[in-house]
C-alpha cells in the first residue's frame, strides 16, 4: 500500500483520522414565524434557559418572507436542543425552515493550529461587531467528471488550501462557521456567515464563487439572511415586545 493510499484510507469516514478528531457540538438552526398570540415571555425564557445551560444561542431578525425569528443554538446535546425547539414551538414560534448539523474540523485542516481547531468545534458566538448574518446549506457535486468524491485526496487538499487563501482576504470582515450534516440533514454542510455589513457577505460569497472548489464542485441551497439582535429587540421590532 502506498503512502497516498494509506492517507486516503485514513481520511474516509470511520478511518483513523476521523476517530482521532474531538467530538463536535450539536448545532440547530431554526427559522420561525411568530404566531398571533405568541407568548413572548416564554420565547425569551426558552432562549435564556438554553444559554444558561452552557449553550451558545444566537438570535436573528430575519429579512424577507422566510421567517421572523432565526435561532442558532450550539452545545453538547441534541436532546437539549430538541427541548429548546419544543419550548419555542409551545411559545408560538412556528418553524419555516430548520437545519441540523455538528461542528467539525475539516479533514483538510491538518496544519491548522490546535487553538483554531478548538474554536471551530466549540465556537463562541455571536462575534462582536458582526451583526450581518447569512446561512445556507451546501454539498459537493457528484456529477460525471465533476465528482468531488472521486478526486484524490491531494487534489482536494490543493483546492481547499486555495479556497482558504481566498477566504482569508475577508478576515476581520466575515466570520464563517461550517457545520457538518452528512447523514443528518438534506445537504452535507451548513454555512453560517457573520459579517460587519451585508456588503461584506455579498462580496465574500461572490468572490468565492470563482474559486475552483465552488465553481466546479459546489452545490448551494437557499440563503436565509438577517441581523443579529437580542431576543427582546427582535420581539419589540415585531410589535410583540
- Asked whether the beta carbons of 56 and 123 are under 8 A apart, the reply is yes
Q: Is 136 a catalytic residue?
A: yes
Kindly give, in sequence order, each residue whose CB lies less than 8 Å from that of residue 225, ignoring residues fewer than 6 positions away. Answer: 62, 63, 64, 133, 134, 135, 198, 201
Rounded to whole angstroms, the Cα distance separating 147 from 210 reads 18
Kindly give, in sequence order, each residue whose CB lies less than 8 Å from that of residue 73, ignoring residues fewer than 6 positions away. Answer: 27, 28, 30, 50, 55, 56, 57, 58, 81, 84
Residues in the chain: 241
Identify the active-site residue in 55, 136, 153, 206.
136
- Residue positions annotated with a catalytic role: 136
Amino acid at each position: 500500500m502506498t503512502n497516498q493510499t494509506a492517507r486516503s484510507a485514513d481520511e474516509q469516514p470511520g478511518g483513523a483520522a476521523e476517530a482521532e478528531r474531538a467530538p463536535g457540538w450539536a448545532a440547530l438552526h431554526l427559522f420561525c414565524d411568530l404566531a398571533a398570540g405568541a407568548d413572548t415571555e416564554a420565547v425569551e425564557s426558552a432562549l435564556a434557559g438554553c444559554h444558561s445551560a452552557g449553550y451558545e444561542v444566537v438570535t436573528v431578525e430575519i429579512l424577507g418572507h422566510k421567517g421572523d425569528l432565526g435561532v442558532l443554538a450550539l452545545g453538547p446535546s441534541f436532546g437539549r436542543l430538541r427541548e429548546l425547539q419544543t419550548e419555542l414551538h409551545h411559545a408560538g414560534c412556528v418553524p419555516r425552515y430548520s437545519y441540523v448539523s455538528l461542528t467539525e474540523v475539516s479533514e483538510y485542516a491538518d496544519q491548522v493550529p490546535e487553538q483554531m481547531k478548538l474554536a471551530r468545534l466549540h465556537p463562541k458566538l455571536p462575534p462582536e461587531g458582526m451583526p450581518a448574518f447569512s446561512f445556507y446549506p451546501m454539498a459537493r457535486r457528484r456529477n460525471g467528471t465533476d465528482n468531488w468524491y472521486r478526486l484524490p485526496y491531494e487534489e482536494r487538499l490543493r483546492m481547499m488550501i486555495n479556497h482558504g487563501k481566498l477566504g482569508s482576504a475577508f478576515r476581520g470582515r466575515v466570520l464563517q462557521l461550517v457545520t457538518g450534516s452528512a447523514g443528518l440533514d438534506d445537504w452535507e454542510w451548513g454555512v453560517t456567515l457573520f459579517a460587519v455589513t451585508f456588503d461584506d457577505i455579498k462580496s465574500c460569497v461572490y468572490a468565492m464563487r470563482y474559486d475552483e472548489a465552488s465553481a466546479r464542485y459546489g452545490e448551494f441551497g437557499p440563503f436565509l439572511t438577517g441581523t443579529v439582535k437580542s431576543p427582546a429587540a427582535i420581539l419589540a421590532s415585531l410589535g410583540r415586545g
